[in-house]
Structure 1
Amino acid sequence: MHRVDLRRLILLLTIAATLLTFAISFHASYQTLRSQLMSQTLEANRAYAAKLAHSTDNFLKAAQQQLAYSAALLPEMLGQAERLDAEVTRLKEQTGTFNGVFIVCAKGRVQAVAPWRPGLVDSVLQTEGAQRALAARAPLISTPYVGLRGHLLVFLSQPIFAPDGRYLGYVGGAIHLGESDGSLQALLGNHYYQDGSQLYVVDGNRHLLHHQDPSRTGGVAAGNAAVEAVLRGEEGSRRLREASGIDMLAGYAPVPSSGWGVVAQRPTAATLTALDGLMLDILLNALPFFIPVLAAIWWLSQLIARPLRQLAVTARHWEHAAARTEIRQVRSWYFEAEQLRLAMLGGLSLLHRKLGRLNQENVTDPLTGLANRRGLQLALERWQEQNRPFAAIAVDIDHFKQVNDTYGHDVGDRVLQHVSRLMRSVSRSGDLVCRGGGEEFTLLLPEAGLEAAAQVAERLRVLSGQTKSPTGGGVTLSAGVAHWPSCAASPSAVLKLADEALYRAKRSGRNRIALAGQLEVGSEDAPVS
C-alpha cells in the first residue's frame, strides 16, 4: 500500500494553514474596517445635522427677534402710512431674511407690505399663516403653505400690543421654501451629491421644509425612523431602511425653537464602495508575495522532513554497522521550528492589536475644552491600575437654569466656559478637570488627601463668588469632596460619594462645600445665586 510521505503532508498542511490564516485575517480586517467606516459616517452625519440644526435655530430666533423689535415700535406708527412703509421696507431689506413683510391690524387688514403689491394694502389676508397669526395673538411659526403668489413658504409673526395691553395686530414675515431666493435655502445651502446622500428639514407634521431635490420640498417624509426620532426631540444617528428600500446611515438633530428636525443621511452602499476597492488592492498587492512564500514552504518542508526521513531510511538497515554513525549525523530542527511558529503567532497578535487601535475616540468636551466622561473614565481606570490614590471634587453651578432663563443660552455657555477657566486656575498641571454634562463638573486630584481637596474646592468657591462672570456678577458653586481609597473601595463609588456630598451641600443652602461623611464647608452668610 502506497503511503504519502511526511514532506508532502507538511507541504499540504502548511499551504492550507497559510491560505486559511490569510482568509481569516482578510475577513477580520474587512469586518473591522467596515464597522469603522459605518461608525464614522454615522457620527459625521449626526455632527453635520446638529450643526445645521443649531444654525437654523439661531436663524429662526434672530428672525423672531427682528419682528419682536419692530412690534415694539409699531404702536406709535399705526395710521401713519409712510412710517409703516418705511418699517416694512427696513425689515425686508435689512438682513434679507424675509421674502415678504406684512403689518396687519387687529381686523386682519393689511396696513403695509414689502415688497409693495397693488391692491394688497387695506385688503384682508386669507392665507393660512395670516389667519393663524390673528387667532394666536402670540409669536408664531406657521406650518408650510402656498402663499398669495404660489410660493411654498413658512410665516413668522409677532403680535403688536398697545401700552395698555390692547391687541393692535401683528407684524409678519414670509420665508420661501425650496427656492433660490429663500433665506432658509441660503442658510442650509445647496448640496449636490452624486451618491444618493440626502439632507432635509422637516416640521412637526413631517412636511419637508428643505430638500436638495426641490421637487420634494413641501412633501411628506413618512416611514423614516430618523424623522420620527428627531420629531421626538432626539439627537443621534442610526442605520435605517427608507420607504424606497434604500439602506441608509442617518444622523439627525432637532431645532428646539420651532419643533423642526434636520436629517442627513447617506446610502450604506456608497459608504462601503471605497472599502471594497481598498480590500481588492490589498488582495492584489498580497498575491505576488505568495510565489516566494510557496517556494520557502517547499524548502522548509524538506528541511523539517529530512531528520525523520533519514531516521526511517536508517531503520530499514538497522543491523548495519554504519547505522549508529548515521543516526548521530541526523540534525533535528524541531525546537527552531517551534520558535518560528511562536514568532509568527506573535506577529499576528501584534497585527490584531494594531487593527484594534485604528479608531481613537474623542475624549474632549467641545464647549469648554475639558475632558468629557470618556476621558474621566480612562483616567480612573489608569489610576486604579496604578493603585494611585486621588481626591474627587464634584462641582455644580447654583441655579444655572436661572442664568439660561434670564440671560439666554449663549450667556449660559459663556458662564460654563468662565467656570471652566476658574477650575483650571485652581488645579495643578497633573490634575484632571472634567465636564460631565450641563453645569456639572468634576475635578480629580491625584496624590491629594481629602482635606487638601476640600481646601481646593473652598478656594474655587470663594474665587467664583468674587470673580465677575458673563452675567455681570459672581457665580456661586456647590461642591462635594470624596477620596479614594479612604472613602470607598472603587473609583466609581468615590464619584458617587462626591455627588452625594454635592447634593447635601445644595440641600443645605448651596454656595458651600460638603465632604463625604462630614459636614459642609462654607459661609452660612454667603449669598446663594
Structure 2
Amino acid sequence: MHLPSVFRLDLRRLILLFAVTTALLTLANTFYASYLAQRDLLIRQTLETNRVYAAKLADSTEGLLNLARQQLAYSVAVLAPVFDQPQKLATETERLKTQTSIFNSTYVVRADRSLLAISPRALAEPGGVIDSDGAREAVAVRQPLVSQPFVSASGRLVIAVSHPVFATDGHYLGYVGGSIYLRERSALDVLLSDHHYRDGSSLFVVDRQRHILYHQDTERVGETMPGNPVIDAAIGGNAGALRVTDAEGIDTLAGYAPVTSTGWVIVAQRPTATTLAKLHGLMLEILRNSLPVSLLTLLCIWWLARLIARPLWKLASSARHMDSQAAAEQIHQVSSWYFEAAELKRAMLAGLAQFNHKIGQLNHDSITDPLTGLLNRRGMLARLEQWQAGNRPFAVIAIDVDHFKQVNDSLGHDAGDQMLRQLAQLMEQVARSNDVLCRNGGEEFMVLLPETSLADACAVAERLRQCVADSPIPEGMTVTISLGVAHCPASSAGIEHALKQADQALYVAKHQGRNRVVTAGAA
C-alpha cells in the first residue's frame, strides 16, 4: 500500500521537520540561555555594587570615627592641665560640642564616674555619678574607646566615643567623651541614610556583638541579629558579597564591609526580585523583536530543505541503477554543491579505489616490521627481486647488535625492543634517501644501497657504526654493532650470494672482536 505523496515521509520532509524542530529548540535554548546570562550578570553587578557601596560607607564611617577621636584627643590636651577648674572644663566641653556636628552631646567625667561638665547642659547637672555601661567601660579600660550600644541616663540608646585623661605624672584623672544617638538624628545617621538609591535597597550596621547600630527601621536599632549568614561572613573582618535569605524570608543580594577600628559591619542589600524585575520585561521585548526574523528563518529553512534534498534524491535514484553503464555518468552530472552530497558522490565513484587502497595497505603491513617500521625480510626480498629484474647493481650491509642477549637478560625485553627501535632511527638518520632499510629478524638488520660501490657502502657502514657507538641506548648503556659489507654488480644474478657474502663478513667482524666493519673482500 502506497501512501499519498502529501503524507509520504521523504528526505525533503525529514530535513524540513528536523531543521524546523532544531531551529525552534535552538531559539528556545538561546532565549533561555540569554535569560540566564542576563540574570547572572545582573546579580553579579548588584552584588559588586553593594559590596563597593558598603566598603565606601565603611571608609566614610572610619573617617568619621577617626575625626571624633582626633577632636577628643585635642580636648584631652587642653583639659589635662585644668582638670580641677570647672569653668574651663565647661567651656571646652561646649566648644567640642558646637565646633563639630559629630557628637549629640559631650562631657567630662572624673575617674570616680562623677560628671564634671556636659553639653548641652540641659541633659544633666554636674556632680552626679554616671552609672551607665559606657561610663563603667571607659573608666575600666582607660584607653581610647568606642563603646557598645547602651542606654544613657537620659534614656537614649547611644554609643560613646571616649578618650582617657592622665595627669603629667601618669595619674588617671577621668575621660572626655561624646555620645552619638542611635535612634535620633546624628552624624552617623546622616552619613548612613543620605544615599541616592530608591530601588528597594537598604542598609544596616551591626557591632561585634551583632547589635544593630543603624537600620532604616529605627525600631530595630539596638536589637541583636543572630544567625545572619552575611554577618557570619563579615565578622572575620573581610569585605565581600553574598546572596542570602534574610530574617523576613526575602531573597536578597548583600554586600558587606567592616569598619576596621571598631569591628562594626556595614551591610548594603537589595531584594533579588527588585534586581530582576526589569529582566522579565526585557526578555518579552526581545521575544517580540525576534518574531519577524524567526518567521523569515523558518521560510529560509523550507527553501533550503528543498535545495539540500535535491542532490541526495538524485544520488539515491542513481544508486538504484549502479549496475547500468550510465550510472557513473549520471552520478557525475549530479550537482553536489555542499560537502555531504559531494562526499557521498565521491564515495560512490571511489568504491573500487577504496577497496584497492585497503588491499595495498594490507600488502604494506605484510612487508613491514611492526616493531621498527622498517621492511621485513619479505619486503627486502621483494625489493631485491625488482632490482634484479632491472639488472640494477647494489651493495648490502649486514648488521648485528653486539651482546644483545645480555641487554635482554639484564634490562628486560622492553628495553631490548626500545634498543632495536632506536637503532632503526639511527639507521634512518645515517642512510641516504634511496637506501632501503630492513630488519632481517631478531637483532639482525640489512641496509640495501642501490647503485653504490663497495667503498661507498663501507663509508656508510662506518658512519652508522660510529653513530651507534656514540649514542647511549636505554638505561644509559652504550651498545655497539658489527657490520658486514658486500657488493652485487649489475651483471650478477646472485642475490643470495651477495647476502651470503655480507653474512660471512659480519661473522668475521664478530670473530675479530665486534664493533667493526668488515667487507666481503677483506673477509
Smaller-chain TM-score range? 0.5 to 0.7
| Contact 1:200-1:211 within 8 A present in 2 as well | yes
| Contact 2:58-2:259 within 8 A present in 1 as well | yes
Structure 1 residue 31: deviation in Å? 2.3
Q: Where does residue 226 of structure 2 map in the other structure? A: 222
Q: Where does residue 104 of structure 2 map in the other structure? A: 99
Q: Where does residue 403 of structure 2 map in the other structure? A: none
Equivalent-residue separation in structure 2 for 1:338 and 1:316 (angstroms)? 18
Structure 1 residue 316: deviation in Å? 9.4
After superposition, the C-alpha distances for 1:494-529 in whole angstroms (9 at most, x for unaligned) are xxxxxxxxxxxxxxxxxxxxxxxxxxxxxxxxxxxx
Q: Where does residue 261 of structure 1 map in the other structure? A: 265
Secondary structure of 2:14's counterpart equals helix
Secondary structure of 2:244's counterpart equals strand
Which amino acid is the alignment partner of residue 132 of structure 1?
Answer: E
Structure 1 residue 119: deviation in Å? 5.3
Which amino acid is the alignment partner of residue 116 of structure 1?
Answer: R
Map 1:291-310 to 2 at 5 A. Answer: 291-309=295-313
Which amino acid is the alignment partner of residue 219 of structure 1?
Answer: E
Give the TM-score normalised by the residue count of structure 2: 0.59
Q: CA 1:159–1:324 in structure 2 vs 1: closer, same or farther (change >3 Å)?
A: closer
Q: Where does residue 84 of structure 1 map in the other structure? A: 89
Map 1:9-28 to 2 at 5 A. Answer: 9-28=14-33
Of 135, 142, 159, the residue aligned with 2:140 is 135
| Contact 1:192-1:212 within 8 A present in 2 as well | no
Structure 1 residue 78: deviation in Å? 2.4
| Contact 2:200-2:270 within 8 A present in 1 as well | yes
| Contact 2:118-2:124 within 8 A present in 1 as well | no
Equivalent-residue separation in structure 1 for 2:300 and 2:123 (angstroms)? 92
Of 286, 290, 296, the residue aligned with 1:286 is 290
Q: CA 1:157–1:321 in structure 2 vs 1: closer, same or farther (change >3 Å)?
A: closer
Which amino acid is the alignment partner of residue 288 of structure 1?
Answer: P
Structure 1 residue 338: deviation in Å? 9.0
Equivalent-residue separation in structure 2 for 1:222 and 1:13 (angstroms)? 57
Q: CA 1:338–1:17 in structure 2 vs 1: closer, same or farther (change >3 Å)?
A: farther
After superposition, the C-alpha distances for 1:258-297 in whole angstroms (9 at most, x for unaligned) are 1111111222222222332222222221111122222222
Map 1:205-354 to 2 at 5 A. Answer: 205-309=209-313, 331-335=335-339
Q: Where does residue 201 of structure 2 map in the other structure? A: 197
Of 48, 52, 55, the residue aligned with 2:57 is 52
| Contact 2:241-2:254 within 8 A present in 1 as well | yes
Q: Where does residue 151 of structure 1 map in the other structure? A: 156
Secondary structure of 1:4's counterpart equals coil
| Contact 2:250-2:271 within 8 A present in 1 as well | yes
| Contact 1:223-1:242 within 8 A present in 2 as well | no
| Contact 2:243-2:252 within 8 A present in 1 as well | yes
Q: Where does residue 73 of structure 2 map in the other structure? A: 68
Structure 1 residue 45: deviation in Å? 1.4
| Contact 2:211-2:223 within 8 A present in 1 as well | yes
Q: Where does residue 497 of structure 1 map in the other structure? A: none
Equivalent-residue separation in structure 2 for 1:174 and 1:335 (angstroms)? 82
Q: CA 1:318–1:232 in structure 2 vs 1: closer, same or farther (change >3 Å)?
A: closer
Secondary structure of 2:162's counterpart equals strand
Map 1:330-479 to 2 at 5 A. Answer: 331-335=335-339
Q: Where does residue 513 of structure 2 map in the other structure? A: none
Which amino acid is the alignment partner of residue 208 of structure 2?
Answer: G
Which amino acid is the alignment partner of residue 295 of structure 1?
Answer: L
| Contact 2:312-2:341 within 8 A present in 1 as well | no
| Contact 2:311-2:341 within 8 A present in 1 as well | no
Of 109, 114, 139, the residue aligned with 2:114 is 109
Q: CA 1:61–1:337 in structure 2 vs 1: closer, same or farther (change >3 Å)?
A: farther
Which amino acid is the alignment partner of residue 274 of structure 2?
Answer: A
Structure 1 residue 174: deviation in Å? 0.5
Q: CA 1:145–1:336 in structure 2 vs 1: closer, same or farther (change >3 Å)?
A: same
Give the TM-score normalised by the residue count of structure 1: 0.58
Structure 1 residue 328: deviation in Å? 7.4
Equivalent-residue separation in structure 1 for 2:207 and 2:123 (angstroms)? 33
The count of corresponding residues between Structure 1 and Structure 2 is: 338
Q: CA 1:316–1:73 in structure 2 vs 1: closer, same or farther (change >3 Å)?
A: closer
Equivalent-residue separation in structure 1 for 2:214 and 2:123 (angstroms)? 30
Equivalent-residue separation in structure 1 for 2:74 and 2:255 (angstroms)? 35
Larger Rg: 2
| Contact 2:114-2:130 within 8 A present in 1 as well | yes
Q: CA 1:86–1:307 in structure 2 vs 1: closer, same or farther (change >3 Å)?
A: same
Which amino acid is the alignment partner of residue 187 of structure 1?
Answer: L
Equivalent-residue separation in structure 2 for 1:137 and 1:291 (angstroms)? 79
Structure 1: gaps (5+ residues)? 340-529
Structure 1 residue 12: deviation in Å? 0.7
Of 158, 171, 175, the residue aligned with 1:170 is 175
Equivalent-residue separation in structure 2 for 1:39 and 1:29 (angstroms)? 15
Equivalent-residue separation in structure 1 for 2:326 and 2:113 (angstroms)? 122
Note the aligned Cα RMSD (angstroms): 3.0
Equivalent-residue separation in structure 2 for 1:319 and 1:169 (angstroms)? 116
Q: CA 1:163–1:308 in structure 2 vs 1: closer, same or farther (change >3 Å)?
A: closer
**Is the deviation greater in 254-263 or in 116-125?**
116-125
Equivalent-residue separation in structure 2 for 1:232 and 1:40 (angstroms)? 24
Equivalent-residue separation in structure 1 for 2:342 and 2:231 (angstroms)? 59
Which amino acid is the alignment partner of residue 67 of structure 1?
Answer: L
Secondary structure of 1:120's counterpart equals coil
Of 169, 186, 189, the residue aligned with 1:185 is 189
Which amino acid is the alignment partner of residue 200 of structure 1?
Answer: F
Q: CA 1:123–1:77 in structure 2 vs 1: closer, same or farther (change >3 Å)?
A: same
Percent identical across equivalent pairs? Answer: 51
Structure 2: gaps (5+ residues)? 344-523
Secondary structure of 1:117's counterpart equals helix
After superposition, the C-alpha distances for 1:236-269 in whole angstroms (9 at most, x for unaligned) are 1222222222222221111111111111122222
